[in-house]
Amino acid sequence: MEIKTFWRIIVKGIGLWLLVNSIYVIPQFASTFSFIEYGGLNWENLISVWFIVLGTLAVYLFVTGFFLFKTEWIVSILKLDQKFTENRIDVNIPYKSVLSIAVIVIGALVFVESIPKLCSTIYEFVKQKELIKDYAGTSWLIFYFLKAISGYLIMTNSKTIIKFIDKQKNDDKE
How confident is the model over 64-121, as pLDDT tens digits? 998 988 988 998 898 888 888 787 777 778 888 888 888 999 999 999 999 999 999 8
Residues 110, 158: Cα–Cα separation, whole Å:
14
Distance CA 145, CA 55 (A): 24
The whole-angstrom separation of Cα 157 and Cα 17 is 16
Helix (H, G, I), strand (E, B) or coil at 174: coil
Provide the pLDDT for residue 173.
46
The single-letter code of the amino acid at 112 is V
Q: What is the tens place of the pLDDT at every residue in 19-64?
A: 888 877 777 776 666 666 555 556 777 788 788 888 888 888 899 9
Cα separation, 72 vs 118, in Å, equals 37
